[in-house]
Amino acid sequence: MAEKIPERLRWTVETLAIAPDDPVLEIGCGPGVAAALICERLTTGKLTAIDRSEKAIAAAKKRNQAHIEAGRAEFRVMALEAAALTGQRFGKIFAVNVNVFWTHPGQGLDVIRGLMEDEGIFYIFYHPPVGTDTAALAGKVCGALAASGFVVADTIRTDLASTAALCIATRAWV
């Protein structure tokens, strides 16, 4: 029986518009469901996924073993604040339901800045319950990003069948 992929993660990956050669960083990958969807789109690109949970990384590695063996994915136990990704730069960096970007403004954003390619994009996704004031949430996140020198390029809000969906994309910083 095929695994049912949550609509919110399908929407997330579609919104990322992954190109076959993209270098991608996922922050807080959990069990690797979005990672699997991304790796299906990669040929010469690569996904690096981090999570502070050893259990989550073990599940992600198991789910994505074929992508790891093909060289399209790597999974590492680490917190963003301590990300040891020396020499790596990413065209697309994303996080799903990682609250640190608005609950502790500035935390980790300096690390992200250092990992972004010059024309890179940082996407923050949230999937709160339907009916959540996503405009207010977007305002908090955008405020935290602006305070850290990021420029918000796009904000997308929609309601899916089971959840609200919010994406904030930053293209550059000042």
pLDDT tens per residue across span 8-52: 999 999 999 999 999 999 999 999 999 999 999 999 999 999 999
Assigned domain for 169 exists: yes
Sign of CA dihedral 7, 9, 15, 18: negative
Question: Residue 128 in 3-state DSSP?
Answer: coil
Assigned domain for 53 exists: yes
**Residues 6 or more apart whose Cβ sits within 8 Å of residue 39:** 47, 64, 67, 72, 73
pLDDT mean for each 10 residues of the chain (174 residues): 81 97 97 97 97 97 98 95 86 91 74 89 92 88 87 92 92 63
Burial state string for 155-164 with b = 16 or more CB within 10 A and e = fewer than 16: beeeeeeebb
Q: Measured between alpha carbons, how far is 13 from 34 in angstroms, rounded to an integer?
A: 7
The CATH number for 98's domain is 3.40.50.150
pLDDT at 108: 83
pLDDT at 53: 96
pLDDT at 1: 39
What are the tokens at 162?
């089971």
Assigned domain for 68 exists: yes
Q: For residue 46, give its domain range.
A: 7-173
pLDDT at 11: 96
Q: Measured between alpha carbons, how far is 94 from 12 in angstroms, rounded to an integer?
A: 9
**Number of domains present in the structure of the chain:** 1
pLDDT at 3: 72
pLDDT at 174: 52
